Amino acid sequence: MTEMDEDRPGAPIEPGRPLRADARRNVDALLRAALAVFDKGGVDVPMRTIAAEAGVGVGTLYRHFPQRSDLIKAIIQREVDGCVEAAVTLGRTQPPGEALASWVQRLVDLAGTKRGLGPALHSGDAAYQALPSYVLGQLTPALRGLLDAAAAAGDVRADVDARELLLAAMRLAAPASDGETEQARRMVALLVDGLRFRAGAS
């Protein structure tokens, strides 16, 4: 990566330290800006460009994200956490089968987040080694809750493993990372349709 030492200010904020409201807003703005900038210009876009897009100084960016990899990991983690929250919301507001189908489509949005991040995520950089475990560790229980509810309601078959379903859905959603979003949506919809075969069978 380029420009990692340019305009670098002092030490980063302490890990685990609660963020003030203004700092939280800055972090949210930086993550949204970085996602948009990486999508348009690739993962090597100068960090000052991200700061400018977010409306903050470069010093603020580096205080929260000392390395470019910290910023990229935070983007993925933020999107994954959003999927977990969506599972709770959908489970409360939609019938079980519809909630499951809607959430699996959310995986297409997650895959789309990786557009522009691919060169970094697939670079072999050790900084990203823990991300797959984080993604599976967070999303599997979220999917399991929706899947169990849908099976109990008789909307889908009851012999499906949540982790295997998650891996299958993520593979089918993968084209969205290359801009093939509609194709990905059709494929994951077919996957969910397949879950309805023999639904309610003992």
> Which one, of 75, 3, 62, lies nearest residue 35 by Cα?
75
Answer for the pair 38, 116: CB distance below 8 angstroms, yes or no: yes
Q: Quick check: is 14 in a domain?
A: no
Residue 80 and residue 157 in one domain: yes
For position 15, what pLDDT does the model report?
41
Mean pLDDT by 10 residues, the chain (202 residues): 37 46 87 92 92 95 94 94 97 97 96 86 90 95 98 95 97 93 97 89 58
**pTM greater than 0.85 (yes/no):** no
What type of residue is 188?
A: V
Residue 49 and residue 83 in one domain: no
Answer for the pair 146, 106: CB distance below 8 angstroms, yes or no: no
Q: Domain ends where: 66, 82, 102?
A: 66
* Gap between the terminal Cα atoms of the chain: 55
Q: Quick check: is 89 in a domain?
A: yes
Residue 50 and residue 98 in one domain: no
Domain that holds residue 45: 21-66
